[in-house]
Amino acid sequence: MKKILTLVFVSALGGIFTLGTYKLFLEEKQPVVIAAAAENPTFLPTTNTRPLFSAEDKIDFTVAAENTVNAVVHVKNVTLSKGTYTMQDLFSGRSSERAQTGTGSGVIINADGYIITNNHVIKNAHELSVTLNNNKTYTAELVGADEKTDIALLKIDADEELPFVTFADSDNAKIGEWVLAVGNPFNLTSTVTAGIISAKSRDLSGTSRQSFIQTDAAVNPGNSGGALVNTNGELVGINTAITSQTGSYVGYSFAVPSNIARKVIEDIMEFGNVQNGILGIQGGALNSMNAEKIGVPDTEGVYIDDVVADSGAEKAGIKKGDIIKEIDNIKVSKFSDLTGHLSAKRPNDVVNLIVSRDGDLKTIPVTLAKNDTFTMPLVGRIKDAKAKDLKKFKVTYGVKIAELDEQYAEYWKKNGIEEGCIITAINDIKVKNVEDVQRALRNKSRYEALRLEVINTNGDLERYNFR
């Protein structure tokens, strides 16, 4: 019996020892959790009930890219510049002229080989060539250019049917709309980048004469003259400029709207120069400060300070103090909204203005007049002469000097030439209007002297030769 009790005692003691060892060394300790009072999560309201793009409506750029890349070309411009005349040039009889090469992009706009690009891409060209996306190269002819809009038109005679891009209505382009920038900057075949339209009617000069489309699609040097297209592959603009302190793309690029570019090249093809329709008002855009100064409640629109005599605006009944709110159903917030739309119009086109007058809105149709003024190098602003102007100087043709260039005004006045005098010929070509002047200057060789015939204040014919 004693042995049995001893065995039970030893067994119990072993069990206690084993359990203690497990508790001490093997069993995992459970952390002590102190429960805090639960807080309700904060929810922010939103109108988005689904992802921005579902699988069904996801934007596809492939069609637009395929429709565009083969119609965007590489443009090469060879210019001649005067270098330093060395002794080696003297003894060898070589010219001091040196060839310089510039490059850019262009867009084929019809199957006949017409190509649109920037004026700054082809400026002062001695030779022009175009390389297609299939690496074929052609000599290009300059049909015409407009420095104001920075648009130029080239022509090539290709031995194949050329792909081309059709024009979109840039007035219908929306801020936030997807676009592609297509260029051929380094003759490496066309390159495509994507972005959105960031803004419209941008003026980079501060003169309110420009009206660019701004985009965040990457555009770098060499892309000038390339295509900005919508997701259908239609031409929305011609890529023209970037703003950057480094010279490389930093998120801002600008394109000439397709409506302006199209109008410019159509004018060049039909008339040989750009036909500008003039509204005939002087004024400025409103903001809080200007509105307070003038004493009007509007902070958007274009305030009319003056109406030009005999202009379309005057004939239509536009008055000083009117505020232009819309033009052809396009809202006018700043001056470039107005000038951008007018840049796509011609003389005798009718635009419908909505103006605010004494708090009432009025719809007024205005027939645009012909642009009869032009700023001429070395002279200043000239305009078509009226019959009474010609009669005063006893001539039957010529253009009138409306305002002398400040830099050369003293020279002209010393020679008896003042505002109101008549220019009758440029480089032996009679000029009867501003268009004749523009044509004569355009046809003058860059190395040719500028010869002017001017009637002075005494009615005498003077001849001037500028090199």
Catalytic residue positions, numbered: 120, 150, 224
Give ∠ CA 300-301-306 in degrees, rounded to 5. 135
Classified as helix, coil or strand, 20 is: helix
Q: 275: exposed, middle or buried (C-beta count within 10 Å: 0-12, 13-18, 19+)?
A: buried
**Structure token digits, residue 256:** 């000439």
Query: Can you tell me the distance from the alpha carbon of 405 to that of 383, in angstroms, rounded to the nearest whole number?
Result: 14
Query: Can you tell me the distance from the alpha carbon of 26 to that of 371, in angstroms, rounded to the nearest whole number?
Result: 99
Query: Can you tell me the distance from the alpha carbon of 242 to that of 22, in angstroms, rounded to the nearest whole number?
Result: 76
Nearest to 189, CA basis, from 118, 115, 129, 135: 135
Who's near 219: CB < 8 A, 6+ residues apart?
181, 183, 193, 226, 239, 242, 249, 253
Query: Can you tell me the distance from the alpha carbon of 108 to that of 69, in angstroms, rounded to the nearest whole number?
Result: 10
Classified as helix, coil or strand, 456 is: coil
Who's near 122: CB < 8 A, 6+ residues apart?
75, 77, 104, 128, 142, 145, 152, 154
Residue whose token pair is 């793309």: 249
Q: 308: exposed, middle or buried (C-beta count within 10 Å: 0-12, 13-18, 19+)?
A: middle
Query: Can you tell me the distance from the alpha carbon of 22 to that of 397, in angstroms, rounded to the nearest whole number?
Result: 120
Q: What's the DSSP call for residue 167? A: B
Are the C-beta atoms of residues 115 and 155 closer than 8 Å to each other? yes
Residue whose token pair is 């420009």: 210
**Structure token digits, residue 104:** 């850019």
Q: What's the DSSP call for residue 395? A: -
Classified as helix, coil or strand, 430 is: strand
Q: 79: exposed, middle or buried (C-beta count within 10 Å: 0-12, 13-18, 19+)?
A: middle
**Structure token digits, residue 9:** 């005692």
Are the C-beta atoms of residues 125 and 176 closer than 8 Å to each other? no
**Structure token digits, residue 444:** 């003058």
DSSP H helices, 27-61, are: none
Percentage helix, strand, coil for the chain under 3-state DSSP, each rounded to 5: 20, 35, 45
